[in-house]
């Protein structure tokens, strides 16, 4: 079953070793902040980064942001200590990198529980290797804590020995498979990063493609890209107006004992009403943060 609708239009990776960036993040308009102890932190800085992130989480002041702590992967020297620290760090979720099996997810779940993690603490899984893609369905079903699958398209492209193209043909089959797994188990799904932060046009196209595919939002590596992601993954005024029309027409038809109704020449059934309701719920959640959703 799907969880409550939560805006995840923009998910910005924040290097856990950069105190200035972690502080600045408090005022950024991203929906999600991924406080990163993995790729963004050099091996010699891992311990210090963990301590810094824990201190910043304890300090608070992150407002509406959904806070996700990305730990180092299973098999690394820092993984176990990261999970123990993350269990009661005050983040909303723990992100596991390079997940390739349900067993990895379940082991992390057990470690978090043993360290005293509260029941609402979510798990996010990064799908960024060929094996991870092939096992996405079993990963998505691995734990009740699991809330989101995150596409790691950069690592996946490397492992595929593929060439990055503007249309991302090299990863589209993997993205579709990951989305199927996420939706089959009521999970959120986030698209991979756009590496060229100066390529505004390419970023916009990638965001629009991600939304058309079905993603809830996009992972980002620079604050200047937040606005584009928020815009692309927000319902448009026209979409919201249509959703209201569909909802109202269907309610009127139902009151008259009719199961279907025609709106603007198109047949409207229960599935269309469910999609409209979800869009309106997303807009309401965005508006609750003080943003104009329509």
What pLDDT, in 10s, does the model give residues 190-210? 999 999 999 999 999 999 999
Which homologous superfamily does the CATH classification assign to the domain defined by 10-232?
Answer: Phosphoenolpyruvate-binding domains (3.20.20.60)
Cα–Cα–Cα angle for 80, 136, 93, rounded to 5 degrees? 45
Strands (E) in the chain, as ranges, are 10-15, 32-36, 66-70, 93-96, 122-127, 146-151, 188-191, 217-220, 261-263, 266-268
Phi and psi angles of residue 218, each rounded to the nearest 5 degrees, phi first: -130, 140
219 contacts 30 by C-beta, under 8 angstroms = no
What pLDDT, in 10s, does the model give residues 67-111? 999 999 999 999 999 999 999 999 999 999 999 999 999 999 999
Task: Read off the tokens for 250.
Answer: 């269907």
181 contacts 136 by C-beta, under 8 angstroms = yes
Regarding predicted confidence, which is higher, 42 or 253? Answer: 42
pTM: 0.94
* All structural domains of the chain with their residue ranges: 10-232, 237-287
Look at residue 112 in the predicted model and tell me its pLDDT: 98
Residue listed under structure tokens 């890209």 = 225
């Amino acid at each position: 079953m799907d969880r409550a609708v939560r805006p995840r239009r923009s998910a910005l990776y924040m290097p856990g070793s950069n105190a200035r960036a972690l502080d600045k993040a408090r005022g950024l308009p991203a929906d999600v902040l991924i406080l990163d102890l993995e790729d963004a932190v050099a091996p010699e800085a891992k311990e210090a980064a963990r301590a810094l992130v824990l201190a910043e989480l304890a300090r608070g002041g992150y407002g509406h942001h959904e806070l996700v702590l990305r730990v180092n992967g299973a098999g690394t020297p820092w993984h176990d200590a990261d999970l123990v620290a993350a269990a009661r760090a005050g983040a909303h979720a723990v992100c596991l990198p390079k997940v390739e099996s349900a067993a990895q997810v379940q082991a992390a779940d057990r470690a978090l529980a043993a360290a005293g993690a509260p029941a609402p603490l979510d798990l996010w899984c990064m799908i960024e290797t060929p094996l991870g893609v092939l096992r996405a369905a079993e990963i998505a079903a691995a734990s009740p804590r699991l809330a989101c699958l995150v596409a790691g398209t950069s690592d996946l492209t490397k492992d595929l020995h593929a060439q990055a193209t503007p249309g991302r043909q090299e990863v589209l089959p993997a993205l579709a498979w990951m989305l199927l797994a996420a939706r089959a188990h009521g999970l959120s799904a986030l698209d991979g990063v756009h590496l060229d932060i100066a390529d505004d046009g390419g970023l916009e196209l990638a965001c629009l493609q991600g939304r058309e595919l079905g993603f809830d939002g996009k992972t980002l590596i620079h604050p200047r890209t937040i606005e584009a992601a928020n815009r692309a993954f927000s319902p448009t005024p026209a979409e919201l107006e249509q959703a209201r029309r569909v909802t109202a027409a269907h309610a009127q038809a139902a009151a008259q004992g009719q199961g279907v109704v025609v709106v603007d020449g198109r047949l409207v059934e229960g599935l269309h009403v469910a999609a409209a309701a979800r869009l309106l719920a997303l807009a309401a959640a965005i508006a609750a943060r003080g943003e104009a959703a329509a």
